[in-house]
Structure 1
């Protein structure tokens, strides 16, 4: 099967809703569904988090960042206090990050694994920046922005998880990759993961969109986060680097000091989210 046939096969599967998730993804999805249950009380959430050691570690780490400890209080050292501080919605975003990372769990090809790791670094930076830009610039819900950043490349992670089956699928064809990912696969993977429609629409609109001035939407938030991410996506056409702030229209929205604070805050949140591969 050549590349065009392979792309067509994967796209046709996605169009039918035939999305194949690794077993490890399905396991984390069960955790996600349990946490989204309105009858899931704090004790149940704590027990579920403790059952995933990496999730527990990242929950505590996130609770201790400046973004969630603005008063500079004592460091949190346990999951109970961490969940209470960051809240369920942020916890669900961290669970979504586990789902995203697990897509690389079956990949054998070292080149594909390297792409997965770079895509995760890009994703984590975008998520952290999206939350910071939401709080300071676009004023959309920061929790929604964080979640959107985490899942905005999930179509790419899914395609990477399938690429071992089709040698050469990704060779020298970034435009085809991006087109397939956005137009068919991303929408179906987002639907399969039950990503809320407003979030899914904002994600698919990012490719080819222009930043509004002043930026005020979830799509604008993701555009800003992608533009300022220090790690580019390894898939598709890379976004151009941001212009010097003084030469940018963004200068009319926030000053350089605030932009620097956003980047520093996001860098700390990124460090709390990033960790050893879950693959």
Structure 2
């Protein structure tokens, strides 16, 4: 099966709703969907998190990281206080990160696992940078930007998770015939995961998206973060990728000094998030 055939087959399955998710994704999804309700009582949130030991440990770890404890407060040792410090929105993003990360857990091929790991590092760097860009540049809700960036490559993670079964899926494709299939797969995975429409629309518009002047949308935030992220996606085609706008235009909103500060902060936050998710 060549690349085009493999993409066509996986896309056809996706359209029918026949998406294959790792078992661990379903558990994290239950937590994520419950936390999507802003009126979810604290006691219910605590029970949900405690029911997933990995999520509980990671929530406490993340609450003690520099990302959420910049003032050097005392370490938190329980889920209740961890949720209060991290907040529902970031707990929701953490559950989503577990979902995304789980797609790489079933990959057997060492080369594919390496790609999945690089894609994860790319995702984390884009997520942390998106949060800062939202705060400093675009004015978008930083929590929404963090969440959107964490799930923005979920379609690619899904493809990597199926590549063991369809060896032609990731073969070089200089004519980019698979673009439409990639878009279909991403859209169906986002739908299956219950990603809010605002976030899904921004993610689906990333391919070929152009920066607004001035940048003030979620899409602009993701475009800038992807452009400046220090870790590239291993699945990106450099021949077809383009900057969201000329660098000279982007410098009007993020000059070299500010960009360096933002990248340094994002690097520190990415390390903190990685450490929390490896608990």
TM category (shorter chain) comes to 0.7 to 0.9
Q: How far apart are the structure 2 equivalents of 1:196 and 1:36? A: 9
Residue 180 (structure 1) aligns with: 181
What TM-score, normalized by structure 1, do the two folds share? 0.88
For structure 1, which segment, 75-84 or 269-278, has the greater mean C-alpha deviation from structure 2 after superposition? Answer: 269-278
Structure-to-structure mapping, 1:187-198, within 5 angstroms: 187-198=187-198
For structure 1, which segment, 117-126 or 35-44, has the greater mean C-alpha deviation from structure 2 after superposition? Answer: 35-44
| Alpha-carbon displacement from aligned partner over 1:195-219 (angstroms, at most 9, x marks no partner) | 1111111111111112222211111
Residue 88 (structure 2) aligns with: 88
What TM-score, normalized by structure 2, do the two folds share? 0.88
Contact 1:100 1:157 (8 Å CA) reproduced: yes
Structure-to-structure mapping, 1:122-161, within 5 angstroms: 122-161=122-161
Contact 2:67 2:272 (8 Å CA) reproduced: no
Q: Which runs of 5+ in 1 are unaligned?
A: none
Shift of 1:23: 1.6
Shift of 1:266: 1.6
Shift of 1:148: 0.4
> Taking structure 1 as reference, are residues 61 and 263 closer, same or farther at Cα in structure 2, changes over 3 Å only?
farther
Structure-to-structure mapping, 1:214-225, within 5 angstroms: 214-225=214-225
Shift of 1:228: 1.2
For structure 1, which segment, 106-115 or 93-102, has the greater mean C-alpha deviation from structure 2 after superposition? Answer: 106-115
Residue 8 (structure 1) aligns with: 8
Q: How far apart are the structure 2 equivalents of 1:191 and 1:7? A: 18
Contact 1:228 1:241 (8 Å CA) reproduced: no
Shift of 1:14: 1.4
Q: How far apart are the structure 2 equivalents of 1:61 and 1:139? A: 28
Q: How far apart are the structure 2 equivalents of 1:75 and 1:6? A: 49
Structure-to-structure mapping, 1:92-131, within 5 angstroms: 92-131=92-131
Contact 1:228 1:242 (8 Å CA) reproduced: no
Shift of 1:131: 0.6
Q: What RMSD over aligned residues (CA atoms) do the two structures have, in Å?
A: 2.6
Q: Say whether 1:251 aligns with 2:257.
A: no
Q: How far apart are the structure 2 equivalents of 1:98 and 1:139? A: 27
Q: How far apart are the structure 2 equivalents of 1:149 and 1:43? A: 28
Contact 2:104 2:160 (8 Å CA) reproduced: yes
> Taking structure 1 as reference, are residues 136 and 210 closer, same or farther at Cα in structure 2, changes over 3 Å only?
same
